[in-house]
Amino acid sequence: MARYSDSDDDRVVVVEREGGSGLGALLLGIAIGAGAALLLAPDSGEATRARIRREARRASEKARAIVDDVTDDLADTYERTLERVERGVGRARASVRERARDVSDTVSSKARAVGDAVTDRARDAADAVDAGRVAARQAKAELERAVEETRRAYSEARRAPRMADDLAAGPDAGPADNVGPA
C-alpha cells in the first residue's frame, strides 16, 4: 500500500508487505546471485556461459527440490488435517447420535409416565363415576323409602281423626252420622 506525506514537497512511497511463502525471495536471490556472478567472473565468455548454465541448472534443481519439499509438506499437512477433521466429524456424529438416543430415551420415558398418569386418572375418574352411580342408587332408594314412609304416615294421620270420631260416636252410629270436616 502506498502512503504519501503531505508535509514534504517530495513524495515518499512506502511499500508494506504482508507475510508470504518466501519462494519469491528465493528466486530473486538466485537471479541476483547469477547477475553478480556474471559481473565478477574472471573466466572467458565460453567458460562463464558454461558456468552460468551449470549454476542455472543447479538453481533450477534446488528450486524444484524446494517446490517438491513444500508440495510434500503441504500434502502431508493436508492429509493430517483431513484425518483430524474426519476424526472430529466422526466424534461429532457419535456424540450427536448418543445425545439423540438420550433425548429419545428421555422423551419415551416421559411419554410412558404421562401415559401411565393419564391411565391412572382415567381409572380414578371411572371409579368415581361408578361410586357416584352407586351412591345415586342408594340415595334414590332411601328417598323412595322416605317418600313411602311419609305417604303412609300421612294416610295414617288422615285416618286417625276419623277413627277417633267413630269411637266417640259409639258403636251404633253409622257412616251417615259422621258428617263433618274430615
Reported as a single tens digit per residue, the pLDDT across 11-58 is 655 555 565 567 777 788 888 887 777 677 676 778 877 877 888 888
133 in Cβ contact with 154 (< 8 Å) = no
Question: Which has more pLDDT, 90 or 179?
Answer: 90
User: Would you say residue 89 has pLDDT above 90?
Assistant: yes
Q: Give residues with Cβ within 8 angstroms of 38, minimum separation 6.
A: 48, 52
Per-residue confidence (pLDDT) for residue 75, from 0 to 100: 92
Single pTM value for the model: 0.39
**2 pLDDT band (50/70/90 cuts)?**
very low
Question: Which has more pLDDT, 85 or 48?
Answer: 85
Overall average pLDDT of the 132-159 stretch: 90
Three-state secondary-structure class, residue 64? helix
Q: Give residues with Cβ within 8 angstroms of 59, minimum separation 6.
A: 30, 34
Q: How far apart are CA 82 and CA 84, in angstroms?
A: 5
